Amino acid sequence: MFRIIFKRFYRNTLAVVGLAIIVFFAMIAILAPFIAPYEPTKIDVNNVLSPPDIRHLFGTDELGRDVLSRIIWGSRASLKVGFIAVGIAITIGIFIGSIAGYYGGRVDSILMRFVDMMLAFPTFFLILAVIAIVEPSLSTIMIVIGITGWMDVSRLVRAEFLSLKEREFVFAAKAIGMTDWRIIWRHILPNALSPVFVSATFGVAGAILVESGLSFLGLGVQPPEPSWGNILTSGKDNITVAWWLSVFPGLAILLTVLSYNLVGEGLRDAIDPRLWNSDE
């Protein structure tokens, strides 16, 4: 099965390109201290709003800071938020979806009504409300995005559990006296994770967009720490005289989000057995 999935994913050129871009940005984030040409917070009043040149390939901002260095270091914040926030969301979603799908009945009704209630709130405005109450920071953003983004995962896991709990291997596990928790975590859940992986890929892209939006509004990563969103804020303030402050961080966000979406599409097509050919 894994051989077929890998083969189908590898045949999807756009998904492979997206994966290569993701790896590229991940390596940039990991190697930021070694590859950034300047300190991201270093101020140079002699090079304020300098256009791209040999010394500053992406130009400088209103304080003379090197934009390329800030984008490189900003990739750490954006990717960290994407992965950790989605990790929190998946953990909560798997737990609630597993319980609802396995036990069904009143437990399922109560948990799913809670999910419906959470879905009734516009997620971005709910995040804005929470961020406005607590102090904005990278840790706060990751937690808030995580605890407001688990609902779709819980519904996916619940749907898988409703189907899998009627299979013979579950009845066999019950017949030999296994506990419900062992059946859930050892037998059903590993077979229900395929759609979760796809959802997580799209979730990382969404979390990066949310973090960039919050930082752009001044409610995310706080200056002087770099983030793609707060670099765009500088671009907005100087859009008529410094196009590079908007173009380069915007391209970084575009490429990253697009890449995760392409990988998610590729995984979805590769994992779905209904799309497999008989010769595979």
Q: What is the dihedral of CA 180, 185, 191, 194, to 10 degrees?
A: 140
pLDDT for the residue numbered 275: 57
1-5, 152-156, 249-253, 267-271: least confident range = 1-5
- Is residue 251 pLDDT above 80, yes or no? yes
| Rounded mean pLDDT, 41-57 | 87
Question: What average pLDDT does the chain have?
Answer: 86
Confidence of residue 276 (pLDDT cuts 50, 70, 90): low
Residue 180 lies in a domain: no
What pLDDT, on a 0 to 100 scale, did the predictor assign at position 254? 92
CA atoms in the 13 A half-sphere facing the CB of 148: 21
Report if residue 188 sits inside a domain: no
Quick check: is 49 in a domain?
no
Range scoring the smallest mean pLDDT among 86-100, 127-141, 142-156, 228-242: 127-141
Residue 131 lies in a domain: yes
Query: For residue 246, is pLDDT > 70?
Result: yes
Domain holding 251, by residue range, is 2-39+60-168+194-275
Residue 231 sits in a domain whose CATH number is 1.10.3720.10
pLDDT band at 272 (very low <50, low <70, confident <90, very high): low
Q: Report the domain count for the chain.
A: 1
pLDDT at 250: 92
The pair of structure tokens assigned to 130 is 């929470």
Q: How far is CA 95 from CA 113, 158, 202, 271, in A?
A: 16, 10, 20, 23
| Average pLDDT estimate for 161-180 | 86
Residue type, 27: M
Residue 76 falls inside a structural domain: yes
**pTM of the shown model:** 0.85
Q: DSSP character for 136?
A: P
Retrieve residue 98's tokens: 């597993």
pLDDT tens figures, 215-224: 888 887 888 8
- Predicted confidence band at 227 (pLDDT cuts at 50, 70, 90)? confident
Is there a domain that residue 232 lies in? yes
Which has more pLDDT, 27 or 166? 27
Write the pLDDT tens digit of every residue in 25-42: 999 999 999 998 889 888
Evaluate whether residue 204 is within a structural domain: yes
In a domain, 9, yes or no: yes
Residue pLDDT, tens place only, 96-133: 999 999 888 898 899 999 998 888 877 778 777 877 78
Model confidence over 69-80: pLDDT tens digits?
999 998 988 888
CA distance 90 to 150: 6
Residue 278 has pLDDT above 60, yes or no: no
